[in-house]
Each structure stands twice: as C-alpha cells, then as structure tokens.
C-alpha cells in the first residue's frame, strides 16, 4: 500500500464514499525523499531532501521538463513546540531547484549540496508551522501550507499563496540512506484560486 495512503487512513484525514468513482490527480509537485530528524526537543533542526517524482505522469502546476532536468525539493525547519502526537517546525522553508541532467550533478543524499546546486525556481515558507504527526514510533504524517515568494518561475504561478503540503513519513522503508532517519513521501498541491461569490440568480442573468 502506498505510504501516503496508509498514513492518511490511520489519521482518518479523508473518507471517500460512492461506487465506480474514477479521479485523476490534479496538478501537484509530487516528491519522495529522506529527512534528518535529530530529535523533538525545542531548537532541534530538521531537513528533508527530495526529488520530484511526477516524471510527466502526474501534471505539475507549472510546465517542467523531466527529460532534460532533475528537480529537487528541500524543506528545512526548527522544532518550536510539541503537543500530543504533533511536533511543530517553525520558520520552515521550501525550495525547489532545477538542474540539467547532461552536465549537471545528480541528487545524492550522501552529498546534500547536490540538491541545491541548480537554479532556484521556487522558494517559499510555511504559513504558521509545518506539523509532523507521530502515529507510531516508525510511522506518521506531515502537513502544512506554503506561500511562495521567490524563484525564477514564481511568475508562472496563478497564485503564490495557499499551497497545501502533506504526506507520510516512515522509518521502516528499506533503503533509507545513512545519516537520515525517515522516508518522506508527499506532494504540494495546487493552490485554489479565489473566486467571486455570486447567487444563482445573478449567474442566470449573465445568459439572458
């Protein structure tokens, strides 16, 4: 079972009812990577290094060239509090880089600088906290909302604010690199665009 789906099920975050429902993924930045979680005491840092995994299958919010470029996503924050199963990371940031495949440097968790040596195409910060939920000692979820404010592709976004960020983490996935404690599998969803509220009567008048 997909890691994100498992964590969502455990959290009871979403319930879908109905028969014969078929839905395609809306545009998002889908990522998979590994996080360094030194601890949950106040002031402890967290960094997650990942690669976008859309690869032309799931559409991205902006046009990306997965054939000629590799896209990396870096998340950083600091523990500012904890309550129950939730650990909060304040001043958390998100950066998205592109690096050419031919002549560039492939992302390598043994060398963290390979995740940031490309062109910074989007950068932003979490609105409030990035929250990391702990369901069991080896499984949990993460959730937050991102606002983008920089990067060479910022102007390509329909709106820079209100991007839902979430997914699941696991400590039992095979292949976690040395120096990292968790696999993070998640996505940044397309922000909703504000609409002007109207009554049904006013809508009908547009067609008269």
Quick one: DSSP state of residue 142? E
Kindly report the number of other CB atoms within 10 A of residue 83's CB atom: 8
Average pLDDT, the chain: 86
Distance CA 87, CA 81 (A): 6
Task: Provide the phi-psi class of 132: left if phi over 0, else alpha when psi is between -120 and 50, else beta.
Answer: beta
pLDDT at 130 over 80: yes
> DSSP letters along 32-93, please?
EEEEE---SSTT-EEEEEEEE--TTTSPPSS---TTTEEEEEEEEEEEEEEETTEEEEEEEE
pLDDT value for 202: 43
Question: What's phi and psi for 6, nearest 5 deg?
Answer: -65, -45
pLDDT value for 194: 46
pLDDT value for 56: 78
At 47-70, the pLDDT tens digits run: 999 999 998 789 999 999 999 999
Q: Quick check: helix, strand or coil at residue 29?
A: strand
pLDDT at 21 over 60: no
Distance CA 36, CA 48 (A): 6
């Amino acid at each position: 079972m997909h890691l994100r789906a498992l964590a969502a099920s455990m959290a009871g975050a979403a319930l879908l009812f109905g028969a014969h429902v078929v839905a395609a993924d809306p545009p998002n930045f889908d990522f998979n990577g590994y996080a360094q979680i030194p601890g949950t005491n106040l002031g402890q840092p967290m960094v997650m290094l990942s690669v976008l995994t859309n690869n032309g299958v799931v559409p991205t919010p902006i046009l990306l060239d997965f054939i000629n470029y590799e896209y990396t996503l870096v998340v950083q924050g600091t523990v500012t509090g904890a309550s129950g199963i939730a650990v909060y990371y304040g001043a958390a940031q998100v950066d998205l880089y592109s690096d050419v495949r031919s002549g560039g440097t492939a992302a390598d968790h043994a060398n963290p600088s390979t995740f940031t040596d490309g062109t910074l195409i989007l950068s932003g910060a979490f609105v409030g906290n990035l929250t990391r939920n702990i369901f069991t000692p080896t499984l949990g979820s993460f959730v937050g909302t991102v606002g983008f404010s920089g990067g060479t592709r910022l102007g390509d976004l329909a709106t820079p604010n209100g991007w839902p960020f979430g997914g699941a983490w696991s400590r039992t996935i095979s292949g976690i690199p040395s120096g990292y404690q968790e696999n993070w599998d998640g996505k940044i969803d397309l922000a909703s665009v504000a609409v002007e509220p109207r009554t049904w009567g006013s809508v009908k008048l547009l067609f008269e």
